[in-house]
Amino acid sequence: MAKPIKTAAFCGSLRKASFNRMLLQEAIKLAPRDLTIEEIEIGDLGLYNNDLHQAGFPAAAQQAIDRVAASDAVLFVTPEYNYSIPAPLKNAIDWISRAPNQPFAGKPAAMMGASMGLMGSARAQLHLRHSMVFLNMLPVNRPEVMVGQAQNKFDAAGNLTDEVAKGLIRDLLAALAAWTRKLRGD
C-alpha cells in the first residue's frame, strides 16, 4: 500500500457557517483513503508584520509553518472577495512563506472554492495561482472546482447536495494524490 498523503488545508473564510468551510468538510469526507486532510486555522494569526517576524515568529504562525512543512500536499478552499483572495488567507500565506526553508516550495497543491455568484471563486483561484508561482508550489491544473450559486447547493445541515460538484471534488483530490505520489517518486 502507498504511503499516506498528509494534506494541510486552508479555508479562506473565517465565518463558521461559510460555504467554503462546508466545502472543505465535504472534501474531507470525499478524500481518497490514502489522503488525509487537516485544516490549519488561520483566524488566530495576527496581521503579518516584519517587525514581529524579526523578533521571532508568533506561536500561531510557527505552528502553521510547522504543519505545512510536515505535510505532503496543500489544499486551499477559498471564497472570492473583491475579485481576489480573502485577506486572512493572503495573510496566512505571507506568514508561512517567510519561514526559513520556505515550506510551500515544491509542495503539490490544489484549490477549490464556492461563492454565491456564478463564477464560484474563479478570480480568487487565479490570484492564488499567481502567488503559487512565486512560492514555487506545484498546483494540480485540473479539474477546477468552482461551486457557483453555493446558496443553492448545500442543505440545512451544510452537506453539499450538488452531485457534479462532488464528482469534481473527488476527481481533484484523486489528481492531487496522484500528483503527490509522482512528485515523491512513489
Question: What does the pLDDT average to over 146-173?
Answer: 96
How many other C-beta atoms lie within 10 A of the C-beta of residue 44?
Answer: 11
Q: What confidence tens digit (pLDDT) does each residue in 79-106 have?
A: 999 999 999 999 999 999 999 999 999 9
The model's confidence at residue 53, banded by pLDDT at 50, 70 and 90, is: confident
Question: What does the pLDDT average to over 8-21?
Answer: 95
What is the structure's pLDDT at 176?
A: 98
- Rounded Cα distance, 9 and 7, in Å: 6
Instruction: Please give the CATH topology (third level) of the domain spanning 5-184.
Output: Rossmann fold (3.40.50)
Please state, for a pLDDT cut of 70, what percent of the chain lies above it.
99
Reading the block at residue 178, the C-alpha cell is 496522484
Question: Is pLDDT above 70 for 27?
Answer: yes
Burial class (CB in 10 A: 0-12, 13-18, 19+), 25: middle
Q: What confidence tens digit (pLDDT) does each residue in 115-143 have?
A: 998 888 999 999 999 999 999 999 999 99
Question: Is pLDDT above 70 for 152?
Answer: yes
- Rounded Cα distance, 156 and 59, in Å: 36
Domain ranges of the chain: 5-184
What is the structure's pLDDT at 1?
A: 59
